[in-house]
Structure 1
Amino acid sequence: MDENNPFRPAFELQRQTIEGGRQAISTGLAFQQRLNRALLQGMEQGAELNEQGAETTRETMHRTLDAIEEAVPGASPGMEQVRQAIDDQFDAAAEAGQQAVEAADQGVEEFEDASEAYLETVEEQTEMLLSTHEDFEAQTMSFVEETEAQLDELQAASEGQLDEQIERLQDQMQRLRDQLDHESE
């Protein structure tokens, strides 16, 4: 193929654009995955701090209840119900926090799985597009080369025909001169 073919830069630009699009999608998905992981990590750390704070508050409330039991005779039966209600509330809050973190973790994993599947599809489609693009380029270049060869042949043939026509004309002119010379004698 002719390296100076004017179509070559256009095909190269198209290839670079396709590759750039594939890279942009890949980079975008990788960024989103890192962002999701960072958010999940922040959520997990926040849940851990929240749990520690809740545990500290629960212990403080239990100590307060212990102090009331010691200060108020006969308060133990009622305090046990209050203590159980406090524990139930803190346990329910801790469970809800844990479920939220687990749901977020599952969501991030599902997003990563979907992203990987999408990226694989993009890779396959891009490879197929590049292969088709390559075939089209080869066909175009072949057509251009064949057309150029045919034009060269046509030009060579027409030059030969033109030379023949010029020779015939010169021959005819010579005969005409000869005839004119012969008549003028």
Structure 2
Amino acid sequence: MAVPSRDQALSLLAAANNHGDLAVKLSSLKQVRGILSSADPSLAAELFPYLVELQFSPETLVRKSLIETIEDVGLKAKEHSYIIMPVLLAFLRDSNSTVAKQSIVTGTNFFCCFLEDIASQFHWNRKVERWLEELWTWMVRFKDAVFSIALEPGFVGTKLLALKFLEIYVLLFTSDTNDSEKFTTEGTAF
């Protein structure tokens, strides 16, 4: 099987962005997603700016599919995900609740993944790489935006996902004192 090329991905992105038929747009975006998922992260990062252009599509299904693509590709090419983070933030305020909800789900997955990477880097190296610090800055903005969604009037489904994000946030940043006391007690018993 031939290695997917940059030109093939650009052609599909152009079709997803410019074609008049929704089915063609979705099919093209699905093919791009497949190419970028199997491609080298540097190729994915190179195509992020073209992918971001799809955020202005008037079709809800294209915007939702874009967010799903962002999740797949963004988690693979983490060092370059800062390019797509503004799209995720913008979609939190999308007029269609389906798009906003998908943005919260994807952002929650990013938040957990990036926090794990930060903890791991700090644990092993006692420092965090600059690209991850920049992504974390975007995640803090995301968190603030989701917090405001939870507190404002709006669609119940979107607010429910915002509250679910808050629950995950609290759980991630709350230590379980029983486990740490148990670990400390067990550690001193030797």
TM-score by length of 2: 0.23
In our comparison, the structure showing a higher alpha carbon Rg is 1
| Relative contact order higher in (CA < 8 Å, ≥ 6 apart) | 1
- Structure with bigger helix share is 1
